[in-house]
Amino acid sequence: MKPTLRPSGWLRPASMASVLAIGGLALALLVHAPLATTAHAATAAPQGAQTTAPATTAAGAPDTRPEIVRRGEYLARAGDCIACHTAPRGRLFAGGLAMETPFGTLYSPNITPDPQYGIGTWSEEAFFKMMRTGRKPDGALIYPAMPIAQYTKVTREDSNAIFAFLKTVEPVRQPNRPHTLRFPFNQRDLLYGWRTLYFREGEFQPDPTKSVEWNRGAYLVEGLGHCTMCHTRINMLGGSSPREQFAGGLIPVQNWYAPSLTSDKDGGLGDWSIEDIVDLLRTGVSKRGAVYGPMAEVTYHSLQYLSDEDVRAMAVYLKSLPDQGGRKTGPSVTPDPSVFALGKRIYAEKCAICHGDNGEGQLPHYPPLARNQSIEMDSNVNPIRIVLNGGFPPGTKQNPQPFGMPPFGQELNDTEAAAVVTFIRTAWGNHGLPVTAHEVNELRKAPLH
Ligand code: HEC
Ligand code: HEC
Ligand code: HEC
């Protein structure tokens, strides 16, 4: 088989079903949660440092000087607004992206400056209040499918710049599609319960004991980047515990596993250099592996546009997340010899051409499989899915013509796919556990996007 090559820009404008599922799960809780009648009164939030000239005119119109708009565009990239607020083949920021949850479907709203259908009549203040407090101008609570728990950390100055940029995009006369959430999840007031448990309003507070670079990285990762929305396990109540921040988690509905971003034994960035992380985030490929699935969309829409300094700052922050002991060590598990032999044969026939006879890969296009944490992880979802579905890293400015991996879902039956995944998880000193044909079969049903 010949390595395949695809032009850049193939990636669909994100399906963020994942994140929506999280919002959806959040709703699950609401049925049980006590309704906090006095929940957060929209307290006047501390204002971000105003380093620019007065941000508003007397009439409250936003400051739309070109440099502010450019900054706003950049920050909107960092926040990946486009991923959710633009539907496939839809107009820019006109919303309408369907986000499936176990409780029904949410549709992202139109955030173009159209006065009737978009946010054309919103003031800069109202926009900031939405970002900080998760409330619409009429006071209605916003579903956490919009990353309000993270965006609350955004400074006033950055919020104003994003608003100024949104004011300059083309207004689109397209009405919002109403959400089709089932009762009682369609009751916004139930969000009071979720907020009491999981929403902590307030701007990012820099840690004075850390470097400026670390703080910049923390601000981007915890705030606009909303990385925790996927990389933190969601509990039964649809929230996540601060202790488990960035420790990895399965993305509901979408069924991809977002690995730990700490220096954990399971997945984790403990062995990665800052350079590897920067490469992966910005270009989509690195010495350690390539991005795929939902992470490919994050790189495609957002991270590839960020400056080297900002991505580096994010990497510096991620590398500082507590080290739980690096990588897995000790002997590998010995799977059933007949399964291993079958997997080994399939690997030699179908995979070695790209990933190398000994899983060494061919950098930077074909990731190594030997000593690759994303293959050894306790969760076997990603290696199974990529073998079934194949994948392409995103086309990025620095890697415009990514090399892809063909899907093997048709070619290999459940037993064969399980054998080859078992092989790559246990060969070459990898510390993964075997996978079963049943597990493969279950993942054949996972949505492709
Ligand atoms: C992960 C998906 C996601 C991302 C990323 C996202 N949004 Fe949203 N946003 C939503 C959803 C879903 C809603 C509707 C929530 C609701 O109905 O309560 C929403 C609501 C809004 C609203 C309220 C609009 C209205 O008419 O009520 C605004 C404004 C908004 N988002 C702006 C932004 C901006 C600016 C960014 C980037 C900084 C952004 N969003 C990123 C999903 C997202
Ligand atoms: C929409 C969900 C989603 C969001 C948002 C997201 N990620 Fe990911 N991320 C994933 C998934 C799924 C993977 C596993 C696939 C892969 O390795 O490409 C992943 C993989 C990664 C990896 C590779 C880890 C490894 O061990 O191989 C890094 C590093 C990473 N993400 C960083 C980030 C950062 C930083 C952010 C915020 C800017 C972020 N992610 C936001 C879903 C997400
Ligand atoms: C035509 C070349 C090619 C072939 C053949 C191929 N792969 Fe891949 N593989 C790739 C590329 C390119 C990627 C990166 C995909 C992405 O980022 O979306 C990849 C990614 C992977 C990953 C994820 C690596 C990571 O960092 O998490 C696994 C696991 C994998 N391949 C296993 C296999 C197995 C098993 C086979 C044989 C059944 C196979 N590949 C055949 C090119 C190939």
> What's residue 300's pLDDT?
97
Dist. CA 18 → ligand 2 center (Å) = 12
For the record, the structure tokens of 52 come out as: 């620019």
Residue 236: alpha-carbon gap to chain centroid: 20
Flag the least confident range among 31-35, 132-136, 169-173, 271-275.
Answer: 31-35
For the record, the structure tokens of 345 come out as: 């044969």
Ligand 2 contact, 260 CB (< 6 A): no
Residue range 288-343, pLDDT digits in tens: 999 999 999 999 999 999 999 999 999 999 999 986 666 788 888 999 999 999 99
Ligand 1 contact, 109 CB (< 6 A): yes
Dist. CA 260 → ligand 2 center (Å) = 9
Nearest Cα residue to 228 out of 247, 215, 211: 247
Band of residue 449 on the pLDDT scale cut at 50, 70, 90: low
Mutate to test the pocket of ligand 3, among 355, 387, 414 (most ligand atoms within 8 A of CB): 355
Band of residue 237 on the pLDDT scale cut at 50, 70, 90: low
Flag the least confident range among 69-73, 133-137, 156-160, 268-272.
Answer: 268-272
Residue range 242-267, pLDDT digits in tens: 778 888 999 878 889 999 998 887 88
Indicate the average pLDDT of the chain: 86
Domain boundaries, the chain: 17-223, 336-443
- Which residue is associated with the tokens 């979720």? 194
Residue 186 reports pLDDT greater than 80? yes
Nearest Cα residue to 404 out of 417, 393, 420: 393
Dist. CA 266 → ligand 2 center (Å) = 14
Nearest Cα residue to 356 out of 369, 365, 345: 369
Ligand 3 contact, 300 CB (< 6 A): no
Amino acid at the residue 139: G
Ligand 2 contact, 259 CB (< 6 A): yes
Fold observed for domain 336-443: Cytochrome Bc1 Complex; Chain D, domain 2 (1.10.760)
Residue range 399-439, pLDDT digits in tens: 999 999 999 999 999 999 999 999 999 999 999 999 999 99
Residue 11 reports pLDDT greater than 60? no
Dist. CA 77 → ligand 2 center (Å) = 16
Q: Which residues contact 273 (CB under 8 A, 6 or more apart)?
A: none
Flag the least confident range among 38-52, 108-122, 168-182.
Answer: 38-52
Distance, CA of 431 to CA of 287 (rounded, Å): 19
For residue 137, give Cα distances in angstroms to 93, 112, 127, 144, 265.
19, 16, 8, 16, 45
Dist. CA 390 → ligand 3 center (Å) = 7
**Quick one: CA dihedral 100, 103, 104, 106, positive or negative?**
negative
Residue 82: alpha-carbon gap to chain centroid: 13
Mutate to test the pocket of ligand 3, among 354, 365, 375, 377 (most ligand atoms within 8 A of CB): 354
Residue 34 reports pLDDT greater than 60? no
Residue range 104-120, pLDDT digits in tens: 899 999 999 999 999 99
Residue 287 reports pLDDT greater than 90? yes
Distance, CA of 236 to CA of 26 (rounded, Å): 9
The arithmetic mean of pLDDT across residues 278-286, rounded, is 96
Give CA torsion, residues 398, 399, 400, 405, to 10 deg.
-160
Which atom of ligand 3 is found nearest the CA of 3?
Answer: 1
Dist. CA 260 → ligand 1 center (Å) = 26
Nearest Cα residue to 371 out of 328, 342, 405, 334: 328
For the record, the structure tokens of 25 come out as: 């799960």
Which atom of ligand 1 is found nearest the CA of 99?
Answer: 12
Task: Compare 399 and 28 and report the one with higher pLDDT.
Answer: 399
Dist. CA 298 → ligand 2 center (Å) = 8
Distance, CA of 8 to CA of 164 (rounded, Å): 30
For the record, the structure tokens of 127 come out as: 């926009």
Residue 223 reports pLDDT greater than 50? yes
Which atom of ligand 1 is found nearest the CA of 83?
Answer: 5
Ligand 3 contact, 354 CB (< 6 A): yes
Q: Is residue 73 within 8 Å of residue 165, measured between CB atoms?
A: yes
> Which pTM was predicted?
0.90
> What's residue 21's pLDDT?
38
Q: Within a 10 A sphere around the Cβ of 448, how many other Cβ atoms?
A: 10
Dist. CA 394 → ligand 1 center (Å) = 24
- Which residue is associated with the tokens 């899907």? 407
